[in-house]
Amino acid sequence: MATIELRQVEKKFGEAHAVKPLDMTIKDGEFIVLLGPSGCGKTTTLRMISGLEAVTSGNIFLNGRDVTWLHPSERDIAFVFQFFALYSHMTARENIAFPLQAQGENKAEITRRVAEVSNMLKIEHILNQRPGSLSGGDQQRVALARALVRKPAAFLMDEPLGALDAEFRETMRAEIKQLHLRQHATTVYVTHDQIEAMAMGDRIVIMSNAVVQQIGTPAEVYHDPANLFVARFIGSPGMNLVKGQYANGIVNLPGGSKIDVPTLYRQRLENALKDTNGEVIVGFRPEALRANAENGSCNAKVYADDLHGGFSMLHLELADGIIVHGRMGRDVSYPIGTHFIFDIEPSMIRFFHPKTEMAIHANGSGQ
């Protein structure tokens, strides 16, 4: 059992806030991802949970036990580092056995546990090699084995895939996730890569500038971002965000495009936009565009057409300097400069307040 709870946990370096007071509850067996750009506070938060960093104020609970001031070794957690942190003068086997030796386990038990995790991670064949002669992916597997061998209450991982080549990253991502599905161990995972976060997380905690922006499942943060930051950060590319003018159930976008506002949103918009004179920010993801040459309500000029492999990404200029992205199949090509007429899938349109940057939710769906 390993629930982790953070209550008003805060970190300051001198006067600068690295993490503003944050509350978070991680359920037993959950794979939670701390996501954000460099410097947002995610790594600091992880380090506070581990004990490698002292909190400035607030409390951390592990299974109901207040661990805020405990030494990292007393918290029953295992830490996996981005740059593996393997002991280069020891073999892989000795690296994995190390934590158990430090705890004073007997030799037979150590051998058994090492064999168990090596089998799980399929690294039996490299146990006698030194880290220096192993590939990045294998090194990270050894680092994972070293964390696993202790059977800790929780795993803390600090961008473990960051130092690996792209092909390893995909494989290791699936491996770590499958490991989690089998072990059901509570895991806190830090990354700046939103694709990793979406693929692996049960829930994602998005941070920016020391503040939590949104906590939600991948589907929630993708389809219902709480603010402009989340809308931009999640998805590659991020959500298209265009400033428009709302009046009588229609939003007018620059360049003459129009969007029909679904009835669900109309009342909310009228209320929320009172102080902006009707100005609103419309958000829609690239896959929400539907080509409609006959009677589409939006039009733009093709600025660029990129092949992404299985699909194409169109860069469309609505008006001077305002570019949106549309995800299209590869079969049709769109030459630069041609006119593109389209609609936006109504269920995929979102609205944001231009001043507060917060999402404006549909009627009856809460804050």
Partner 1 sequence: MSDIRLENITKRFKQVTALDDISLHVNDQEFFVLLGPTGAGKTTTLRVIAGLEKQDEGHIFFDDMPVDTLQPADRDTAFVFQQYSLYPNMSVYDNLAFPLRSPLRKTPENIIKQRVTEAAEKLRISHLLERKTARLSGGEMQRVSIGRAIVRQPRVFLMDEPLSNLDAKLRESLRVELKHLQKTQGSTSIFVTHDQIEALTMADRIAVLNEGKILQMGTPHDIYDRPATTFVATLVGTPRINLFNVQRNNGSLHITSSPLHLPVPAASIPEQLLLGVRPEDVRIEGDGSFDGTVALIEPLGVETIVHIKCGDQTLLSVVPGAASHRLGDAVRFNLARERLHYFDVGGSRLI
Partner 2 sequence: MAATSQPQPGYYVNYSTRVDKVGLRPRINTAIRAIIAVIITIIVLIPVVWLGMTAFKSRPDAVASPPRVFFEPTIEGFVFLLTDRRQLSESEIAEYRERTDLSLPDQIVLERGQAIIGQSDFGRQLLNSLIIAGASTFFSVFFGLLSAYAFSRFDVPGKDDLLFFILSQRMLPAVVVSIPVFLMYREVGLHDTHFGMILLYTSFNLSFSVWLLKGFIDEIPREYEEAALVDGYTRLQAFRKIVLPQAVTGIAATTVFALIFSWNEYAFALFLTSNVARTAPPSIPTRLGTGGIEWAAVAAGSLAFLIPVVIVTFALRKHLLRGVTFGAIRKG
Task: Scan residues 271-300 and list those touching partner 1 (CB under 8 A).
Answer: 285-287
Q: Is 222 in the site for partner 1 (CB under 8 A)?
A: yes
- Examine residue 14 and tell whether it contacts partner 2 (CB under 8 A): yes
Q: Which residues pair with 278 in a beta bridge?
A: none
116 binds partner 1 (CB under 8 A): no
Q: Counting contacts by CB under 8 A, is residue 87 touching partner 2?
A: no
15 with 185: CB under 8 angstroms?
no
Give the range of 47-55, 212-220, 272-280, 335-343 binding partner 2 by CB under 8 A: 47-55
Query: Interface with partner 2 by CB under 8 A: which range of 1-9, 61-69, 218-226, 272-280?
Result: 61-69
Q: Does residue 131 interact with partner 2 by CB under 8 A?
A: no
- Helical axes 107-121 vs 92-103, angle rounded to 10°: 130
Q: Which does 72 bind (CB under 5 to 8 A by kind): partner 2, partner 1, none?
A: partner 2
Provide CB contacts within 8 A for 53, sequence distance 6+.
11, 44, 47
Q: Is 163 in the site for partner 2 (CB under 8 A)?
A: no
Which of 233, 334 has the CB closer to partner 1? Answer: 233
With CB cut-offs between 5 and 8 Å by kind, which of partner 1, partner 2, none does residue 174 bind? partner 1
Which CB atom, from 75 or from 93, has the smaller least distance to partner 2? 75
Single out the residue of 23, 37, 54, 256 in contact with partner 2 (rule: CB under 8 A): 54
Compute the half-sphere exposure of residue 317: CA atoms within 13 Å on the CB side of its CA. Answer: 11
Contact 79, 87 (CB under 8 A): no
Q: Measure the CA angle with vertex 365, ends 361 and 367; round to 5°.
A: 65
> What is the distance between the alpha carbons of residues 143 and 244, in angstroms, rounded to a whole number?
50
| Cβ atoms of 209 and 357 closer than 8 Å | no
Cβ atoms 146, 101 nearer than 8 A: no
What's the Cα-to-Cα distance from 45 to each of 16, 37, 58, 109, rounded to whole Å? 15, 14, 12, 34
- 74: contact with partner 2 by CB under 8 A: yes
Counting contacts by CB under 8 A, is residue 17 touching partner 2?
A: no
| Cβ at position 52, least distance to partner 2 in Å | 6
CA distances from 95 to 124, 137, 147 (A): 13, 16, 10
Q: Using CB under 8 A as the criterion, which residues of the chain lie in contact with partner 1 when the complex forms?
A: 37-38, 165-167, 170, 173-174, 177-178, 181, 192-195, 198-200, 218-219, 222-223, 232-238, 285-287, 303-304, 306-310, 313, 315, 327
Q: Using CB under 8 A as the criterion, which residues of the chain lie in contact with partner 2 when the complex forms?
A: 12-14, 47, 51-54, 56, 63, 65-66, 68-72, 74
